[in-house]
Amino acid sequence: MNAIKKQQLQYVEVLKAKIIKRNAKVGVVGLGYVGLPLAVEKAKVGFEVIGFDRNAVRVGQVNRGENYIKDVNDDELRLLVEAEKITATTDFSWLGNVDAIIICVPTPLTITRDPDISYIVNVTNEIATYLKPGQLITLESTTYPGTTSEVILPKLEATGLKVGIDFFLAFSPERVDPGNLRYTTKNTSKVVGGTTASCLEVATMFYEQTIVNVVPVSSTAVAEMTKVFENTYRAVNIALVNEMMLLCDRMGIDIWEVVDAAGTKPFGIQTFYPGPGVGGHCIPIDPFYLTWKAREYDFHTRFIELAGEVNIQASYHVIHKVNKVLSNHRKSLNGAKILVVGVAYKNDIDDCRESPALKIIDLLLKENAQVSYHDDFVPEIKLCAPYTYAMSSVNLIDEVIASADCILITTKHSDVDYEYVVKHAQAVVDTRNACKNISADLKHKVTKI
């Protein structure tokens, strides 16, 4: 057996032994909606976890055992911190002290909707600085197919260490669904693609320690494409139902009734509901990563791009409906008081990333409307590009409701009494069918998109 093969087996076997015995040290880079729940799951089974984040406030919260992610149990985090199973730091030199590094950083779009992988690049540069033989590096951030092999791998191998021999590199996309009580980090199947066979072997074993079902695939590119396909599938189907919504609005047909009726078919259809657009950290972003990468191959993803256009148009349709409702009351959008109910991108969570409500508020402000909002899950909208406004949630009391010219429901939170809202409102535009079960004598106040 040659020296390289012996060295490869040495690092593989040593790391596998550490993983099986749960004494491998794990570094999680990025302590947000993906990173913190992942860190907790790893620590719960015995791994010592070090969280890395540039945000000193967030690091301080973790080290005090203060939870800021709804999907993480407060007591679990506190007990793990007290047991010194989880620590956090802004000092990236500690990367040299861990055996496995999981990258969970944001991958947003630029203002021109091109991929922004600067966070991945910056973290990779840090890892390369402190890379040591025998480490496993996995990327979980959603990105375009080829990122792991084309961006991360060259930077790591520039250190002189060889992938599959000296270190191990894999891609395993996060599949977090904030607020989902049924499917969590632990019981959501985990797709894993390795750069080499040994990389896949080590990464699969690593994730099997905390994930119920791990699904190995043949390459990092397949794993990357799997993630963008999943969310592109959702984006396209949401666009389809949103386009049906626009048509049904012209035809005077209730799209919600149509979708519910179609959903009774036990095969051949999956139910998607219309809305004011799409939001979250994946669905509005991932398809654009794929369309951008496709151009490199002289391929234009017309179907996907059209879906993006339709979903964006849905937000403008909401403005049209509000304007029409106000006009029916002999009022103008210019100067009208609009109370937006719900700004999170989905119900019963505190996440408003890419929320269509933010776009709609921006459009209303540009029409010189006087906008306020209520959302107990999101007490404050902070100033964040490309928007130029910030505001705080108002109390949903009868005086506030009655003073608004129009109530605009953009998120269907379960803690809102919609019967109460409609009762005190002058007019309501409902983008989520939240008022479906209100009293019949109040329904004349409600206009659905």
Confirm whether 3-225 and 275-448 share one CATH topology: yes
CA atoms of 439 and 420, how far apart (whole Å): 10
Going by C-alpha positions, the residue among 292, 137, 307 that lies closest to residue 233 is 307
pLDDT of residue 50: 98
Contact 331/361 with Cβ under 8 angstroms? Answer: no
Q: How far is residue 11's CA from residue 407's CA, in Å, rounded to a whole number?
A: 62
pLDDT, tens only, 49-82? 999 999 999 999 999 999 999 889 999 999 999 9
CATH class of the domain comprising 275-448: alpha beta
Tokens 């991108």 belong to residue: 345
Coil, helix or strand at residue 193: strand
CA 393 to chain CA mean position, Å: 23
Catalytic residue, chosen from 104, 282, 352, 406, is 282
| Per-residue pLDDT at 111 | 80
Domain residue ranges in the chain? 3-225, 275-448
- Point out the residues of the chain with pLDDT beneath 50: none
Q: Please report, for residues 4, 141, 321, 342, 346, the alpha-carbon distance to residue 414 in angstroms, rounded to integers and kept in the order given.
A: 59, 30, 24, 10, 11
Cα separation, 116 vs 142, whole angstroms? 11
- Give the model's pLDDT for residue 109: 85
| 32 touches 178 (CB < 8 A) | no
Query: What pLDDT does residue 4 have?
Result: 59
- 362 in Cβ contact with 429 (< 8 Å): no
pLDDT averaged over the chain?
Answer: 94
> Please, which residues have CB within 8 angstroms of residue 245's CB and are 6 or more apart in sequence?
255, 274, 314, 317, 449
For the stretch 110-158, pLDDT in tens is: 888 889 999 999 999 999 999 999 999 999 999 999 999 999 999 999 9
pLDDT at 3: 59
Look at the block and give the residue holding tokens 């964040």: 384
- Count Cβ neighbours within 10 Å for each residue of 313-351 and write b for 16 or more, e otherwise: ebbebbbebbbebbeeeebebeebbbbbbbbbbbbbbbb
CATH number 3.40.50.1220 given to 3-225: no
pLDDT of residue 110: 83
399: number of Cβ within 10 Å: 8
Report the predicted TM-score, pTM, of the whole model to 2 decimal places.
0.90
- Taken as a whole, the chain contains a residue count of 449
Burial environment of residue 268 by CB neighbours within 10 A (0 to 12, 13 to 18, 19 or more) = exposed
Give the pLDDT confidence score for residue 127 in this predicted structure.
98
Q: Pairing mode, if any, of strands 168-171 and 337-341?
A: unpaired
User: What percent of the chain has pLDDT above 90?
Assistant: 89
Half-sphere exposure (Cβ direction) of 133: Cα atoms closer than 13 Å: 13
The pair of structure tokens assigned to 58 is: 């967030």
* Predicted pLDDT of residue 8: 59
Residues 332, 367: Cα–Cα separation, whole Å: 10
**Measured CA distances, 371 to 59, 192, 256, 347, 405 (Å):** 35, 45, 27, 21, 10
Q: What percent of the chain has pLDDT over 70?
A: 98
- Judge if the upstream peptide bond of residue 386 is cis by omega within 30 degrees of 0: yes
Is there a catalytic annotation at residue 282? yes
Q: Are 217 and 189 in contact (CB under 8 A)?
A: no
Residue 53's pLDDT is: 97
pLDDT for 183 equals 85
Note the pLDDT tens digit of each residue in 187-213. 889 999 999 999 999 999 999 999 989
CA dihedral sign of residues 265, 271, 273, 274: negative
Contact of 301 with 294, CB cutoff 8 Å: yes
For residue 135, give Cα distances in angstroms to 19, 75, 308, 441.
11, 31, 39, 66
**How many whole angstroms separate alpha carbon 258 and alpha carbon 381?**
35
